[in-house]
Homo-oligomer: A and B are copies of this chain.
């Protein structure tokens, strides 16, 4: 009441919230989102009631976890925009796919969130602010790479997102070597065409 904070949670409450999200991220990645909320609580070292105080539904917890991952990718994309356009683009693509490979359960929802940000996604998923953020970052990255002649001009963010989704999903199922090789094939497809 004396500090100027947004929805000020007490320090330890904020800490707990973070721990729960962390735990959920780990648990969902390991067992899929059908893992029990109790498992998340146990891993976070808090009572089950605490989880539900912070996230009133399991669904809301799942959403928040996905949002966290999307936000991270968006940050990464924004950061890379400054560098040499083509390199930045391909480096980001590889990075995003690599991430998804280790956090398997997320890949598609992550991508879905991105898709809601203004591409060609089909379902009426909530067009989250962060999703839009990511879409904007991707658009920038792609446009620069195209202007630099590193990426074919006849494609948009929708295709980019689709390829990210696909490559991420594929990455879950194969070893690192095949992953790299497969990515090279996709990259060749992305380059300008004679």
Contacts and interface: CB of A to CB of B under 8 A. Distances in A.
Interface stretch (A73-81, A88-96, A140-148, A162-170): A162-170
Contacts of A119: 174, 178
14 contacts: A34-B34, A107-B169, A120-B175, A121-B174, A155-B181, A158-B178, A158-B181, A161-B174, A162-B173, A162-B182, A163-B170, A166-B166, A187-B189, A188-B189
B182 A166 contact: yes
A12 B168 CA distance: 44
Contacts of A22: none
Contacts of A168: 166
A115 interface: yes
A108 B158 contact: no
Contacts of A173: 108, 111-112, 115, 121-122, 161-162, 165
Best-buried of A107, A182, A187 by chain B (most CB within 10 Å)? A182
Most B CB atoms within 10 A — which of A107, A120, A161, A178?
A178
A5 interface: no
Contacts of A34: 34
Given A34-B34, A163-B182, A170-B163, A175 B122 contact: yes
A162 B178 contact: yes
Contacts of A107: 169
A166 B190 CA distance: 15
Given A115-B173, A119-B178, 8 more contacts: A111-B173, A112-B173, A121-B175, A155-B185, A159-B185, A166-B169, A166-B182, A185-B186
